[in-house]
Amino acid sequence: MKEKNHIHIYDKNGNIICCSLEEKIDAKTPPPIAKEKDQHHEDDGHNHSHDHSHEGGLGWKAYLSALISLVLLLSGLAVEHLQEASFFKGWIKIVWYTLAYIPVGFPVIKEAWEALHKGEVFTEFFLMSIATIGAFAIGEYPEGVAVMLFYAIGELFQTIAVKRVKNNIKALLDVRPNTATVLRNGNYGTVDPEMVEIGETIQVKVGEKIPLDGILLSEKAALNTAALTGESKPQNALRGEKVMAGSINLDGVIELKVEKLFHDSSIARILDLVQNATSRKSKTELLIRRLAKIYTPIVVYLAIAICVLPYFFISDYVFTDWLYRALIFLVISCPCALVISIPLGYFGGLGAASRKGLLFKGATYLDQLTKVNTLVIDKTGTVTKGVFKIKDIVVKGDYSETEFMNLLMAIEAKSTHPIAKAILEYNTESNLPEATNIQEIAGKGLKGEVAGKTMTVGNKKLMEQFNILVPSETDSIVETIVVVGIDGSFAGYVTIADELKADAKDSIQQLRKAGIKTLMMLSGDKNSITQKVADELGIENAKGGLLPEDKLNEVKKIKQDPTKIVAFVGDGINDAPVLAASDVAIAMGGLGSDVAIETADVVIQTDQPSKIATGIKIGKSTQRIIWQNIALAFGVKIIVLILGTGGLATMWEAVFADVGVALLAILNAVRLQRMF
C-alpha cells in the first residue's frame, strides 16, 4: 500500500503499524515527529500531492485526476445519450472512455500490480481493477469509468475526513518547541532543546513556547496550557512551581530551571502517547480486519461461481450477462466501508478525547473504559488538590493572631515539610523574627528560640514529650493539626487541610450516571480524613491509612469477582502497583508522578476527575458509531448483493453499495468531532 489517503500510525521505530485498509504494512516511512523540526505534517494528499500551504485541506493537484475523469465521463454521456451523435461509436467511444478511465484507474491498477508482486492478491485494488476492466470488456464503458471515479472521489473524502479528525493531534505537533534560550557563561543563547541539560536556566519571552519542563524562577507567570490540558483559561504559576513544556508564556519574560531533558518533557510524552495510541487496536477493529481477510477471497470465488455455474444449469445462458452480474458482485463486495470507517471511528474518538485533555494509550482502552462498573479512587491529588492550606487558627492566651502566626512562621521557616510550606503562605505584612537553636524531633516537630521565647511546634506526641497539656477539644479534630507551645504552655493550634477539587463532587454524580455501580476510595492518609472526604463526596466505601501493598490487596479482592471490571485513578508513585493491577489504569497527568503516568492506560492532563465520565461518554459514542457503520455496511451490501445476483441491480447500485456506504460511514465517524 502506498501512502495516499490513508490513516498511518507509526511505532517508535518508524514502522507503519496501522492504516485505514491494512493491519500491517511493510514500509520504513519516517514517523510524523521526525528529527527535522519542520516536518510536522504527514503527506495525506492524493498521489502524494498534498499542498502543505493549505492547512485546512488538500492541494489542488489532489482533485485534478478525479476532475479530468468526471469532465470526460459527463461529456461522453452527453454526446452519446443527449446528442446521440453518430460519430461517437466504435473506437472513438472506446478511446474517449479509456481516456476518462486512465486518470483515476491507472493508480489503482498500479497498486493492484504492486500488491500482486508481494503476494497480496485479494486487495480492494484487485477487486476494483478486475470489476472495471471487466466492464470495459463487455462494453459497459461509462459504468467502468464511473466505478473507478466514484472510488477516487470516496478516497478524497476519506482524506478530508482523516485530516479533520487529525486537527487536534496536528495542533499538538505544532506546539512542539523548536528552540531554547539557555544561560551559559553569563549570556543567553539559542540552542536546540535537546542540547539543554537538567539544572540549566532557560529564558522564555512573551508569546514563546516553553521548551522544557522546569521550575519557575521568576516571581510569577501566566501560561496558556490549552494544547496540553484542553483548558483555554490561562493558568497562573508562582515561583517554585512546576511548568510544562509546550505551554505558551503570556506575560513578561520568565526564567526556568530545567527539571527534565527534552525527550522526558511533558510535551514529548504527550506526543508519544497520542502518536502510538492506535497501535493497540480494539477487539472490534481486529475482528473486522481478520474477517476482511477471509471475506475478500470468498467473494472473489463466489463471483467466479456466479459467472460460470449458471452455464451448467440454465439453457439460455449468456456469458456477458452473468459476467456483468459477477462484476457487480465484486464491486459490492469490496470491504473498504468497514476497514476504513472502523479505524477512522476509533481515531476520531481518540482525537475527541485528547481535545478534552484525555490521552488514551490505545483504542482498546477506549473500549474497556465503557465496560468499567467499579471505580477505585485515590484521595490526595485525585479528588483533592494535593496542596495543604490553613483551615483554622485557634489562639489561646494573650497573643493576637498576627503575633501567634509570626512566632509560628519564624520557626516553620526553618523546615522543608509540606505542612510548613502551607503555614508560611499565611499573609502577614510584618517582618518575621529570627529563629535560633532549632532542634528537629523526628516524626514529632520542631523546638527552638524565637524572640526570647521557647517555641515547641508539632503534634500532640511532641507536646507530651515536653509535658505541655493539650486541651481535650483537639481530640475530635479530623484534619492535620499543628499544636503550638510557648514557654512550656499550650498557646493554640493550626489545622491544615487538603482542599477538594472544584469538580470533585460533580464528578461522582456524573460517574454514577455513566454507569459506575461501585465507587471506593483508598488512601494513604489517615482514616479519619479519608472518611470525611468520602462523606463529602457521597462515596460509601472508603479506607485510609493504607500502604501501597494494602491498596493493591484491596483491588485484588475486588477483582476476585469476575463480574467486576475495575478502574483505578491515582497520581502518586505509591499508586503504580495498583494501577498496573487494575483493568483500566487512569493517572492524573498534571500533578501525577512519571511512574504513575507511565503505568497508566489513560492520562488526564487537566487533573480533573470529572474527565473520567467524559472519557466513558466518548468511548460509548465511539462504539455506537462504529456499530452503526458495521450495520450500515453489511446491511446495504447484503441487499445489493442479492439484487445483483438476481440481475436486478446495475453497476450504479454497486457503486453506492461500496463507495457510497464507505462515504456515509466516514461522515458518520466524523460526527464524533462535533459531539465533544
Domain check: are 396 and 493 in the same one?
A: yes
Domain check: are 373 and 514 in the same one?
A: yes
Domain check: are 474 and 557 in the same one?
A: no
pLDDT, tens digit (0-9, with 9 covering 90-100), for 520-561 = 999 877 788 889 899 999 998 999 888 778 888 999 999 999
Residue 272's φ and ψ, nearest 5 degrees, are -65, -45
Q: Are strands 584-588 and 602-604 parallel, antiparallel or unpaired?
A: parallel
Contact indicator for 96, 76 with CB cutoff of 8 Å: yes
Q: 42: pLDDT confidence band, cut at 50, 70 and 90?
A: very low
Give percent helix, percent strand, percent coil of the chain, each to the nearest 5. Answer: 50, 20, 35
Domain check: are 571 and 518 in the same one?
A: yes
Domain check: are 459 and 433 in the same one?
A: yes
Domain check: are 393 and 418 in the same one?
A: yes
One-letter amino acid for residue 211 of the chain: P
Domain check: are 510 and 374 in the same one?
A: yes
d(Cα 361, Cα 357) in Å, to the nearest integer? 13
Domain check: are 378 and 392 in the same one?
A: no
Domain check: are 454 and 528 in the same one?
A: no
Give the containing element (helix H, strand E) for 613. helix 611-645
Q: Is 392 among the residues known to form the active site?
A: no
* Across 489-516, average pLDDT: 91
Percent of the chain's residues with pLDDT above 90: 27
Q: Among residues 499, 534, 564, which one ends one of the domains?
A: 499
Percent of the chain's residues with pLDDT above 70: 80
Return the top range by mean pLDDT from 350-354, 412-416, 422-426, 589-593.
422-426
* Across 275-283, average pLDDT: 52
Q: 594: pLDDT confidence band, cut at 50, 70 and 90?
A: low
Give a yes or no: residue 175 inside a domain.
Answer: no
d(Cα 492, Cα 406) in Å, to the nearest integer? 13
Say whether pLDDT at 593 is over 90: no
Domain check: are 394 and 523 in the same one?
A: no
CATH number of the domain that residue 255 is part of: 2.70.150.10
Domain check: are 445 and 524 in the same one?
A: no
Give a yes or no: residue 419 inside a domain.
Answer: yes
d(Cα 109, Cα 114) in Å, to the nearest integer? 9
CATH number of the domain that residue 441 is part of: 3.40.1110.10
pLDDT, tens digit (0-9, with 9 covering 90-100), for 43-83 = 333 333 333 334 445 567 778 888 999 999 899 989 888 87
Catalytic residue among 367, 378, 571, 575: 378
CATH number of the domain that residue 379 is part of: 3.40.50.1000
pLDDT, tens digit (0-9, with 9 covering 90-100), for 193-233 = 989 999 999 999 988 888 888 999 998 888 877 656 545 45
> Is 0.85 surpassed by the pTM of this model?
no
pLDDT, tens digit (0-9, with 9 covering 90-100), for 455-487 = 999 988 899 999 999 998 888 888 889 999 999
Q: Are strands 220-224 and 235-238 parallel, antiparallel or unpaired?
A: antiparallel
Give a yes or no: residue 152 inside a domain.
Answer: no
Give a yes or no: residue 426 inside a domain.
Answer: yes
Say whether pLDDT at 27 is over 90: no
Contact indicator for 250, 218 with CB cutoff of 8 Å: no
Domain check: are 540 and 436 in the same one?
A: no
Among 96-100, 389-393, 605-609, name the one with the lowest average pLDDT. 605-609
d(Cα 420, Cα 423) in Å, to the nearest integer? 5
Q: Among residues 559, 587, 605, which one ends one of the domains?
A: 605
Give a yes or no: residue 611 inside a domain.
Answer: no
Angle formed at CA 319 by CA 315 and CA 321, multiple of 5 degrees: 95
Give a yes or no: residue 228 inside a domain.
Answer: yes
Based on the structure, what is the number of domains in the chain? Answer: 3
Give a yes or no: residue 231 inside a domain.
Answer: yes
Helix (H), strand (E), coil (C) string for 416-432: CCHHHHHHHCCCCCCCC
Between residues 395 and 88, the one the model is more confident about:
395
Query: Domain limits at 415?
Result: 386-499
Q: Among residues 572, 605, 638, which one ends one of the domains?
A: 605
Question: For residues 143-173, b (16+ Cβ closer than 10 Å) or e, as one string?
Answer: bbbbbbbbbbbbbbbbbbbbbbbbebbeebb
Give a yes or no: residue 329 inside a domain.
Answer: no
Among 138-147, 506-515, 570-579, name the one with the lowest average pLDDT. 570-579
Between residues 31 and 177, the one the model is more confident about:
177
